[in-house]
Structure 1
Amino acid sequence: MFDRVNLYRIAPFGAYVFFMLLEDMLLKFGWEANDLRLLYAVKITVVAGLLWAMRSAYSELRWPVGASFRTWTVAIVAGIVVFVAWINLTADWMVMGEPVGFDPREQDEIDWFLVAVRLMGAALIVPVMEELFWRSFLMRWIDHPNFLTVNPAHVGLKAFCITAVLFALAHSLWLAGLFAGIIYNLLYMRSGTLWSPILAHATTNAILGIWIVSTGNWGFW
């Protein structure tokens, strides 16, 4: 049964996917990647707006009282480990499709506004949006349609594996995505708070973004 409780967690993710498909379609119709660089800002603004408008529905985002320092330390370390895996699991057979990437340069000059938008979106908006969908909703919903009643610690192997595999298939670096999906799943199950995988995911994306800008490996975006 798909009611508003489900929709609140699907809608921001769905909006994000819609803009990805829109970009892909426009590129196939002959648009240049440079002409679409501001589309990311629109995408993140729409997703952030949806998350804000529906914020009262996200009971899983209530701050966990009594969460230990160890919980946050483990999440940050896990995020760093996923980052290391992400930039190394890049052999041909580990890559699916042709990633477009995101190049914020104009005539070899970096547009720092575009970089700032990309970093903020990747580190602050995307982790919340994706963890609400993948971990809080989908992984628990596979276990039981009334997913809010499912204790993360009790999620079954079937739901764990399906979620990790689908998360992998949503990324061109599918093996790195699989590794990340497994790590984020485990963090949610072990900690019991969605803020743990959110923090790990944010750490991964933030460090990845800084690394991309520092090294010029724009294809990773």
Structure 2
Amino acid sequence: MPATPSSPMLPQPSATPWVAPFATFMVWLAIGPFLGLSQPLESILRVGSLLVVLLTVSRPVVFALRVKHWIPSILLGLTVGVLWVLPDLLIDGYRSHWLFQNSITGGVTMSISRGDLGDPLVLTLRIVRAALLVPFLEELFWRGFLPRWIVDNNWDRVPMGTYNTLAFVGTALLFASEHGPFWDVGLLCGLVYNWYMWKTKSLGDLVLVHATSNAALSAMVLITNRYSFWM
């Protein structure tokens, strides 16, 4: 009896569209301070490169996103924005505690030099980055790819929003570590975002929540001139 041919191995889907924008963002965070570029030029290059990667490498994923719950997602985003700033507004000197500023988490710094705070181009690009680009690049990685990859190396077979304790807690902790001296509110927001992803199974809604949070935070920064919230 002739041997039955084995079924061909299905090619693994590329993680590049999900990871490349976040990787580009992290590279800029790492090398930006050492390039010696003027703030306007660096802002243009940083925003431009992120936009190019999102619209080319990640285009199929980005354009497939859909929002299913507009009002709840916007309301949750506003709530997260309030939670992010609440400890610092309620407790004087809260962020100066050694738990938040130390040799591991670093110190509170501003992403815009004081000399460039009056430049409309720099401020506009900073808002665009925070409210429009970061939500896409971070959610593609933190909620779209990494949790599913933790569940199974064949991550594309794992449905969006699948609950797994290691993935749920691990991604929240890693998300917190990305935010340095703001790790406490980063952890809280990471848990909230992960919970909402589990409830909605909708990455598009997570992008909207994140965008609303960052837009609200940007508005607060501009109104109060507390630029330290712009890491």
Q: Is the TM value for this pair above 0.5?
A: yes
Deviation by residue 1:162-204 (Cα, 9 ceiling, x = unmatched): 0000000000200110011111111111111101111110001
The aligned counterpart of 2:123 is 115
The aligned counterpart of 1:194 is 203
The aligned counterpart of 1:88 is 86
Matched, 1:148 2:156: yes
The aligned counterpart of 1:183 is 192
User: Normalized per residue, which structure has more helix?
Assistant: 1
Could you list the runs of 5+ residues in structure 2 that have no partner in the other structure?
Answer: 1-10, 89-93
| CA distance, structure 1, for counterparts of residue 190 and residue 63 of structure 2 | 19
Judge conservation of contact 2:73–2:206 (CA < 8 Å) in 1: yes
Judge conservation of contact 1:140–1:155 (CA < 8 Å) in 2: no
Specify the SS of the correspondent of 1:11.
helix
The aligned counterpart of 1:44 is 47
Could you list the runs of 5+ residues in structure 1 that have no partner in the other structure?
Answer: none
Matched, 1:132 2:135: no
- Alignment RMSD (CA, Å): 2.4
Question: Which is worse superposed, 200-209 or 180-189?
Answer: 180-189
| CA distance, structure 1, for counterparts of residue 108 and residue 34 of structure 2 | 14
| CA distance, structure 2, for counterparts of residue 39 and residue 122 of structure 1 | 15
Give 1:101's aligned amino acid: M
Judge conservation of contact 2:20–2:57 (CA < 8 Å) in 1: no
| CA distance, structure 1, for counterparts of residue 76 and residue 41 of structure 2 | 31
| CA distance, structure 2, for counterparts of residue 179 and residue 197 of structure 1 | 15
| CA distance, structure 2, for counterparts of residue 18 and residue 200 of structure 1 | 25
The TM-score normalised by the length of structure 1 is: 0.84
Give 2:51's aligned amino acid: A
Instruction: Choose the corresponding residue for 1:76, options 70, 74, 77.
Output: 74
Fraction of identical pairs, as percent? 28
Specify the SS of the correspondent of 1:98.
coil
Matched, 1:10 2:19: yes
The aligned counterpart of 2:217 is 208
User: How far off is 1:54 after superposition?
Assistant: 2.2
Give 1:74's aligned amino acid: P
Number of residue pairs the alignment of both structures matches: 208
The TM-score normalised by the length of structure 2 is: 0.81
Matched, 1:157 2:165: yes
Larger radius of gyration: 2
| CA distance, structure 1, for counterparts of residue 48 and residue 31 of structure 2 | 16
The aligned counterpart of 2:4 is none
User: How far off is 1:84 after superposition?
Assistant: 1.1
User: How far off is 1:22 after superposition?
Assistant: 0.6
